[in-house]
């Protein structure tokens, strides 16, 4: 089966993908009209990763927590975007009486914000420093880099 140009294998193939969730978000999870969200979510995940000390200082569990936080953030942003477009309150008629209720998506917003807060609390609010580098190793690496250039 032929794939799409620029992609490996058949459509939807996630083999040998370093960050499968990024590919999933790009290809399947969002409507084309909601692609504006991707750069915001990427910045969010990068910011959390840097807060935790960088890509080399983060465990797989923390990487997954960052992804969960990113997903909750994305859902909250989509809810807010739709609320701005369609409204936060809708009119409901029950038994001949008219009242109002929150739009279904907007009513779920606190759940996603709470999930994001739980992820941030689990990751910890203290900023981590990157791993210390050995001065001799750094100088040797720098010397090798300058010699090869």
Which tokens sit at 125?
């609010």
Strand partners, 100: 91
Q: Which pTM value belongs to this model?
A: 0.64
Which tokens sit at 1?
């089966």
- 67 touches 119 (CB < 8 A): no
Token pair 């040998």: residue: 16
pLDDT for residue 15: 66
- In terms of C-beta density within 10 A (0-12 exposed, 13-18 middle, 19 or more buried), how is residue 45 classed? buried
pLDDT tens for the chain, 149 residues long, are: 455 566 556 666 666 666 666 666 666 677 788 888 889 999 999 999 988 888 888 888 999 999 999 999 998 998 888 888 887 777 778 878 887 777 777 888 899 999 999 999 998 876 666 667 777 887 888 888 888 76
pLDDT for residue 129: 63
Cβ contacts of 23 within 8 Å, gap of 6 or more: 14, 17
Which tokens sit at 19?
């960050």
Query: b/e for 108-133, b at 16 or more Cβ within 10 A?
Result: ebeebeebbeebbeebeeeeeeeeee
pLDDT for residue 9: 62
- 37 touches 73 (CB < 8 A): no
What is d(CA 112, CA 116) in angstroms, rounded to the nearest whole number? Answer: 6
Question: Can you give the C-alpha Rg of the chain in angstroms?
Answer: 22
């Amino acid at each position: 089966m032929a794939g799409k140009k620029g992609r490996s294998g058949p459509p939807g193939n996630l083999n040998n993908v370093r960050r499968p969730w990024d590919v999933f978000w790009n290809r399947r999870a969002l409507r084309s009209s909601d692609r504006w969200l991707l750069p915001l979510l990427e910045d969010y995940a990068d910011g959390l990763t840097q807060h935790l000390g960088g890509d080399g200082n983060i465990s797989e569990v923390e990487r997954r927590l960052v992804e969960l936080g990113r997903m909750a953030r994305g859902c909250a942003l989509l809810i807010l975007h739709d609320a701005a477009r369609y409204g936060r309150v809708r009119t409901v008629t029950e038994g001949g009486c008219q009242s109002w209720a929150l739009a279904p998506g907007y009513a779920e917003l606190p759940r996603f914000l709470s999930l994001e807060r739980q992820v941030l609390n689990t990751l910890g609010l203290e900023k981590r420093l990157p791993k210390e580098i050995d001065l001799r190793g750094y100088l040797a690496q720098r010397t090798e880099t300058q010699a090869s250039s």
